[in-house]
Structure 1
Amino acid sequence: MQTSSERTSSTAKFEQIATVLQIAGWASLLVQAGLAAVSGVLLLLAVSGRSFNQAIGTTTGVPGVGVATTQSATPSIGIGIFWAVCGALVLLFGIYLAFRLMRFGKRLRNPSPAIHPQRAKVMHVLWLGVVTGLIGMLLMLLGTGATIGVLLSKSIAQPQGVAIYDPNRIIRSLDVFVAAANTTGVTAHFAGTVASLSVFNWLHRPSD
């Protein structure tokens, strides 16, 4: 049977863990959600602009004779968009894990021990957060690499000091949005990984 001092020590320990979980959960949630919103807006602009460009027609040729040509989107930029979308979906799962950490912290403040989450479950969620962040960073880095590769190939193909008549050689600002969306996603996943890994290591330290 626990003495009064032992109960007080146990309560203080649970309170400390709850505080750490809630702070880490809130910080991870806010940073990831904010960066996810920025990345989503950039990606939405890139996708909508890509669709809009494909629908626009220009008229060229002899005056009085209309020749409809379509402004084609940047070739292969869809690969960067694909990886960005995959990374964004993984980021949503990371945000959910951050929310679970906050819930764990709230449950630890409950005076009833039956409500407290099991240590193994908390560690499992933290480990999932680390793995999710690493997978998300990998996907976003693939998207960033693919997008930068496309932009680099277009910049090399551009003739220096000569007017560009081929629209496929023009680097569009919307293409840069795809690279920015992937880069922002990498930052969001990195923040989630750091938060989960820090708390995981803190809880995994030997007990005094």
Structure 2
Amino acid sequence: MTARLLLATRNRKKLEELHRILAPEMPVEVLGLADVPAFDEVPESGATFAENALIKALEAVRHTGLVTVADDSGLAVDALNGMPGVLSARWAGHQRDDAANLALLLEQLGDTPDDRLGAAFVCAAALVTPDGSQVVREGRMPGRLVREPRGSNGFGYDPIFVPEGYQLTSSELPAADKDAISHRGRALRELLPFILRALEGPDGQ
């Protein structure tokens, strides 16, 4: 029987990314929140990425009974003392509009010299199982920002983020290349042994 894993998100690109990482390891059906009965999602009220990831995973397990992975991620900009951080998705307001968030960030960095545009994408990924087990791992992707969006393969702040050692933005990189270095890919690969162990047990069937 193919194992079932819930990724507590409605973002199809995140679902595809997790499936690409898991698929070589074992047959798994990756579900998103749109694939399970609806439930009221609690606010992401944590002060850290790890706290928010756990909030989402715990709530999803409580409502679905499925082995669940949730992530919280964002952009930490050196010149803004690590912000937007956990506020990345709603930096320009609660409408969670990628274009508005990106435009506001670029405006705020308008007077910042190019050599001070260092930044990093950060992701905390949490695994919670129906028996109450919890594991959290974090991944980082360092790099720098550019002032004009480039590329169409990514989302969020990807079009203005150039990973360390690259000339292309995250939105210009092929999916496989991005997976290999991304903050989410790194966090999920750290979590992978625990995911596989959970899915091999009775809770994953």
TM-score, normalised with respect to structure 2? 0.24
Instruction: Compare the two structures and name the one with the higher strand fraction.
Output: 2
Instruction: Compare the two structures and name the one with the higher helix fraction.
Output: 1
Larger Rg: 1
TM-score, normalised with respect to structure 1? 0.24
